[in-house]
Amino acid sequence: MRRIFTPGRLIVLGIVLLAVFVGLLTLQSGDYIFLPDKAHPVDPLVQLPAGQAKPDHDNGGIYFVDVIVRKASLLERLWPGYREGADVVPAEAVVPPGANDRQRHKLDLQEMQRSQEIASAVALRALGRTVVARPIGVVVDAVDPKAPAAGELHVADRIVGVGGKPVRTTIDLRRLLQLRKPGSRVALAIENGDGRRTVTVKTTSAQGRTVIGIIVEQGVDVKLPLDVRIDSGQIGGPSAGLAFALDLMEELGRDVDRGHRVAATGEIALDGSVLPVGGLKQKTIGARRTGVDLFLVPAGDNAAVARRYADGLRVVPVKSFRQALSALQTAF
């Protein structure tokens, strides 16, 4: 009888299977994967002028949490469950319309920088310091590739004028666009790292409003009463704002953590509001793995997701910076 599985054939089959496995593990798919990362202490990232930082020896600390985001391998695309907390998402859910991966990362870093400035402003105001913050235009977060603005506007452009009229806030932009009829052309004054330029785009309509097919956020120039530097490296996005504000108060002498390890996530606005962020599943798992005592998260859907993956980690939802401070004073 002829043997089907000879030693030589088994070796060849093993080599083939190994090659397939290595290919699945190393070749990238077109999708992205979200993975938990450990919580990071904020304290080593913050630099203050000499003599400003107060010593803290209570073994507590404020931690921020992030999400590892990268292209998914073919194996991860086919079987994401082999990594705890992993989610595979399509590229369009990660990269803004009209942007590539490099531009997405650049935008994330810019959002992180703005988050740090706003967090510093909120913390210093809470300590009674004088902070000056003024709107300086509207920053483009995404451009619909099918919209009239595609090719003319780019991610991170700052719109400072419409039709010769100044634009300082998102309300200014919406108001000036509503004065135009859909289908008309409008001149936009743009500023970015390369200087100032003027582009002309055609308007269109959406849900009864005149639009140009972009997603924007408020640009702000913040003047602080002392030099605050936060070095977060290549970690981007606005979600560490709450953690930065809490740690800055701790650095300046307010006992915020009361000797406990506190993780926090949430974008912080100039008025102190704590806004929802993404990746709560991964961030909660990361905070839990780090062994923190408490996890502050934005109230609402973010808190619901965090509780789902907390597995014993104490989750405290907050709507504002003031509420976060109050919660920490009564939590322990």
What are the phi and psi torsion angles at 34 (to 5°)? -105, 125
Average pLDDT, the chain: 86
Domain contains 99? yes
Look at the pTM and tell me if it is higher than 0.75. Answer: yes
pLDDT of residue 218: 85
The verdict on 150 and 196 lying in the same domain is: yes
The verdict on 236 and 117 lying in the same domain is: yes
pLDDT of residue 248: 94
pLDDT of residue 71: 83
pLDDT of residue 97: 62
Domain contains 4? no
User: Nearest-CA neighbor of 165 among 137, 194, 195?
Assistant: 137
Domain contains 310? yes
The verdict on 116 and 251 lying in the same domain is: yes
Question: Do the beta carbons of residue 128 and residue 213 sit within 8 Å?
Answer: no
pLDDT of residue 1: 46
The verdict on 108 and 77 lying in the same domain is: yes
Domain contains 20? no
The verdict on 258 and 115 lying in the same domain is: yes
The verdict on 118 and 233 lying in the same domain is: yes
The verdict on 175 and 247 lying in the same domain is: no
pLDDT of residue 13: 62
Q: What is the largest CA-CA distance in the chain?
A: 91
Domain contains 18? no
Tokens of 269: 């606005």
Say how far residue 218 (Cα) sits from the centre of its chain: 15
Domain contains 149? yes
The verdict on 173 and 235 lying in the same domain is: no
Domain contains 7? no
DSSP symbol at 127: T
Question: Do the beta carbons of residue 188 and residue 153 sit within 8 Å?
Answer: yes
Window from 212-216, 228-232, 234-238 with minimum mean pLDDT? 234-238
Domain boundary among 185, 220, 255: 220
Residue 144 belongs to domain with CATH number = 2.30.42.10
pLDDT of residue 57: 67
Dump pLDDT digits (tens) for 170-205.
Answer: 889 999 999 999 999 999 999 987 889 999 999 998
The count of domains in the chain is: 2
Which residues, 6 or more positions from 175, have their beta carbon under 8 angstroms from its beta carbon? none
Tokens of 68: 């590892």
The verdict on 250 and 269 lying in the same domain is: yes
Q: How far apart are CA 135 and CA 139, in angstroms?
A: 11
pLDDT of residue 10: 64
Domain boundary among 220, 248, 265: 220
Question: Do the beta carbons of residue 181 and residue 164 sit within 8 Å?
Answer: no
19 — pLDDT class (breaks 50, 70, 90) = low
More confident residue, 141 or 23: 141
pLDDT of residue 110: 77
Residue ranges making up the domain that contains 150? 134-220
pLDDT of residue 4: 61
Domain boundary among 220, 254, 276: 220
37 — pLDDT class (breaks 50, 70, 90) = very high
% pLDDT > 70, the chain: 88
Dump pLDDT digits (tens) for 63-111.
Answer: 999 998 888 877 777 766 667 888 888 887 777 665 667 777 777 777 7
Which residues, 6 or more positions from 140, have their beta carbon under 8 angstroms from its beta carbon? 153, 154, 155, 156, 157, 158, 159, 214, 215, 216
Question: Do the beta carbons of residue 152 and residue 187 sit within 8 Å?
Answer: no
Return the sign of the alpha-carbon dihedral for residues 205, 210, 214, 216: negative
Window from 51-60, 147-156, 279-288 with minimum mean pLDDT? 51-60
Dump pLDDT digits (tens) for 252-266.
Answer: 989 999 999 999 999
| Bridge partners (DSSP) listed for residue 202 | 185
Tokens 């010593």 belong to: 55
pLDDT of residue 148: 83
Return the sign of the alpha-carbon dihedral for residues 228, 232, 233, 236: negative
